[in-house]
A and B are shown apart, each in its own frame.
Chain A
């Protein structure tokens, strides 16, 4: 599949007119429409509180839509979810944390765990406890846990927001590497224009509360994208285009 043209993949999951309002009366999401296609890297971009995390949780089944439907044309795909915090169990070693999705389904696959740890560069830290790791390493463990079941769909909720820029760039590169070789579908939530442009094939720009799709922007730059891409004129142009769209989205909502 040509990764720079996302429209070719078959739909994995579709959100049709999805709305979410909370008991407090807050409207998080209104009439949200989106089709995620197999193998694509799509980002939700918007300011804090625009309902982008809510949309992701609804896809994951962690939150229920108050209106609209979530459709899985080919049946519900196995999901990996990465939270904004590493969300590791502090009482368990890295290895046990990463193995959790397998343990919970009664499987015991130590090769899968070792493989995925090798992949994210944590093989030497299998028996460390989360508190002994740096922020970036904790996030790697969290990503390893999401990948250990080999999910078709990886949902990531601002996973790198709390990390320093150097670590974030590094993990961005690694994430693209993982995506490129596995061809799995990634839905990535972020409030960073630069991060979304660097990673995505398609950016869904959202309006602030209540969250709607303001516009969709394709980033047809070729992969693999590396540090050279980050400093290219092409990258800067995309950033400025997306930045303008984001400002317009915020402006429209007042």
Chain B
């Protein structure tokens, strides 16, 4: 069997075995669904509650996506500003770090006081996703080949040309790595904020469904919603990985298969 097929098949086989054992334990031990639902029941719940859960998933994904876009735009823009001016970097970088190290779970309830709920959730998604974009892009912009920089200087390139034709393309691999991390984080940020908002009363995102199902001891629906969230996270990761691969495939080592 080729290694490629094995890499696809083995995790699936493990997954199937785990599901089988899980179902067997639930059936044989007659464990009630409010303690641990079996995979079959979860699948049935997923189908039955499908429209409701998908609508909620859409709300959460849309917020995460908006947060991601804001984080990508602001992270890149701020990194460029930091790169162009030491003064701006020294003035603002510490605050970006503070925003990053303060746990989002702790910020969310505060934001919910001052902002309308949708905006608070969006802000959370943005805050969490923003820093990896900023940090990676800054690193990329500062890692330009010194000789290439000297070459641009020799041909009297202006600041704008150095930025567009040298620094940004050269920072692209790091930028994309930052975006890949930010994609997953924006979903986490949105979920955390929704859970915090859920305990405050209102909401319709998927995380809110999880919290709500928890209160009502509707454990199968909790599992079904959790499953959807995982799938969404994995999908975001794959989309961003594919985009990154497309952008780098002709020239960057990370996107080129090693020839042995």
Contacts and interface: CB of A to CB of B under 8 A. Distances in A.
A225 interface: no
A87 B147 contact: yes
Q: How large is the interface on B (under 10, 10 to 19, 20 to 34, 35 or more residues)?
A: 20 to 34
A91 B147 contact: no
A104 B251 contact: no
Contacts of A105: 155-156
Nearest to B256: A131
Interface string A55-73: 0010011100000000000
A101 interface: yes
A35 interface: no
Interface residues of A, number: 21
A90 B169 CA distance: 9
B152 A87 contact: no
A89 B150 contact: no
A60 B256 contact: no
Nearest to B253: A131
B156 A91 contact: no
Nearest to A83: B147
A100 interface: yes
Contacts of A129: 250-251
Interface of B: 145, 147-148, 150-157, 161, 165-166, 169-170, 172, 250-253, 256
26 contacts: A61-B154, A81-B151, A83-B147, A83-B150, A83-B151, A87-B145, A87-B147, A89-B148, A89-B166, A89-B169, A89-B170, A90-B251, A90-B252, A91-B169, A91-B170, A100-B165, A101-B155, A103-B165, A104-B152, A104-B155, A104-B156, A104-B157, A104-B165, A130-B251, A131-B251, A131-B253
